[in-house]
Amino acid sequence: MTTAEKTIKLGIVARSQYAALKEGIVKPQGASLEIVEVSPMPKLFDRMIADFEFDISEMAIVTYFQIKELGLPFTAIPIFPMRAFPQGTISYNVNSGITRPKDLEGKKIGVRAYAGTAGVWARGLLASEYGFDHKKSTWVLTDIEHLDQIPNPPNTINRKGDKLSDLITSGDIDAGLGIQGVDSPDVKALIIDVTQATADWFAQTGVFPINNTIVIRDEVLAANPEIAETFFAAYKQAKSFYLQRLIAQGPQARDEETDKRHGDIVGGDPLPIGIEANRKALQMIAQFSFDQGVISAIPSIDDLFVPSTRYLS
């Protein structure tokens, strides 16, 4: 590292797409990266929001909408390191009387946090595709929100510390969003042919759901205005190495398998960057967030991002 280089602290979730950055093969021009991997993922967001621990960090996109609404000092660049289609995230207990998505109305549905991005996507899908009214169900939450300044709706119950997998297996909740690690014949996926349903939905909407973006502390941007563009360029270069790895032969990690599957569905890049390539997804998740009372106004998509990065791709 030369004396002119700055050290940038980057908070991420452990994923193969960051390999070239972690290994130092790629780095932002004029900067050295101190990379910190945080698990589980929600803790990364909490540490960035509460302690301003990182200069640059992954952030859940719905939480970022709330950050901008509250005027907190972070601004995103149009990089989206995590994507997930919601069709495969919805499960139910077979003893609940649920046989179709509309049957979720009036039921107790578990989700980690009401404003969690995966849950917002799933509720939005259920509403837009199946006519589900989220206000008619009771939402059982097992964790606190990243930002408690925005209150949850009255049809929520807090069961902090409980495990969603235990609640759905026992029948304490009728269904759940984003529940993992369940090994019970009583718990099944609500949407049976997830692959086909996902492909059909993407063909119809053109939306490739976004879960996370990248934010930079405004103080860092003020001191280093060039960091937004240089980090964007570095990530783009690191991603090119990653995409080569995806088409290589041999065993792959779970996140690599997911990205390959997404690439098959969308017919190309499983991690598209830039506003225009992601505008439809950003507009949809913003609308879903507003419809569900997670934010009070729909933001201007372009205004969410550092001005110098709005036209990068």
Question: Cα–Cα distance between 149 and 145 in angstroms, integer?
Answer: 9
CA dihedral 121, 105, 189, 58 (to 10 degrees): 20
pLDDT tens digits for 13-39? 999 999 999 999 999 999 999 999 999
Q: Which two three-digit tokens encode residue 28?
A: 């932002």
Q: What are residue 36's DSSP bridge partners?
A: 11
Per the CB < 8 A criterion, the answer to whether 175 and 168 are in contact is yes
Which of 266, 277, 269 is closest to 311 using CA atoms? 277
Which of 30, 37, 38, 36 is closest to 7 using CA atoms? 30
pLDDT tens digits for 57-89? 999 999 999 999 999 999 999 999 999 999 999
Q: Which residues contact 252 (CB under 8 A, 6 or more apart)?
A: 246, 260
Question: Cα–Cα distance between 228 and 236 in angstroms, integer?
Answer: 12
pLDDT tens digits for 277-304? 999 999 999 999 999 999 999 999 999 9
Kindly state which CATH superfamily the domain 6-84+209-309 is placed in.
Answer: Periplasmic binding protein-like II (3.40.190.10)
Question: Cα–Cα distance between 234 and 241 in angstroms, integer?
Answer: 11
86-205 matches 6-84+209-309 in CATH topology: yes
pLDDT tens digits for 189-220? 999 999 999 999 999 999 999 999 999 999 99
Average pLDDT in the chain: 96
- In the structure, what pLDDT confidence band is assigned to residue 5 with cuts at 50, 70 and 90? confident
pLDDT at 3: 47
pLDDT at 249: 78
- In the structure, what pLDDT confidence band is assigned to residue 250 with cuts at 50, 70 and 90? confident
Question: Cα–Cα distance between 174 and 133 in angstroms, integer?
Answer: 16
- Kindly tell me if the per-residue pLDDT of 1 is higher than 50: no
pLDDT at 4: 65
- In the structure, what pLDDT confidence band is assigned to residue 2 with cuts at 50, 70 and 90? very low
Which of 120, 144, 1 is closest to 61 using CA atoms? 120
In the chain the first and final C-alpha atoms are separated, in Å, by: 28
Question: In whole angstroms, how far apart are CA 2 and each of 23, 107, 234, 238?
Answer: 18, 60, 18, 22
Question: Cα–Cα distance between 275 and 203 in angstroms, integer?
Answer: 20
Domain positions in the chain:
6-84+209-309, 86-205
Question: Cα–Cα distance between 21 and 10 in angstroms, integer?
Answer: 10
Q: Is 131 exposed, middle or buried (0-12, 13-18, 19+ CB in 10 A)?
A: exposed
- Kindly tell me if the per-residue pLDDT of 121 is higher than 90: yes
- Kindly tell me if the per-residue pLDDT of 120 is higher than 90: yes
The pLDDT of 119-145, averaged and rounded, is: 98
pLDDT tens digits for 231-247? 999 999 999 999 999 98
pLDDT at 181: 86
| 86-205: CATH number | 3.40.190.10
pTM of the prediction?
0.96
